[in-house]
Structure 1
């Protein structure tokens, strides 16, 4: 799957088959299905990319203190751009253009 295929899949009713857990969580996050994305993030704590996802989700929720905690756990600075830009950056770490 390419990045563009992933973006296009955001209008589907169900997640595309064969996604990794991280991409599945990002798919839900991109559709503002916060609880589904967060449940996946919680199942994979202590993995840096999932910790970054967890930080993003709490930032998306408006819980900036909790987001800061997860950015530290991920070993990443707090993201300075928009939520959409951060989401795109995370997806691009997993998929080719």
Structure 2
């Protein structure tokens, strides 16, 4: 992971384009996570962790909440589809 951060930062500096890193959940690293200017987080726990860290005081943190919601089932359409599929 550190090598990806290194190359991402290097390319960002050369191309003068911003580099944004994402941390996709999981436990927070016990070893030093490399500093980045922009970090996208997907859990409130990560947001609180990085906000409370002096190391990431100047990091722009972006939070994208869980985007998955329960999809309501339309049982009448399901039943109709099952009937049609049996006839074929």
After TM superposition, the score normalised by the length of structure 2 is 0.29
Higher relative contact order (CA 8 A, sep 6+): 1
Q: TM-score, normalised by structure 1?
A: 0.27
More strand by share: 2
* Max Rg structure: 2
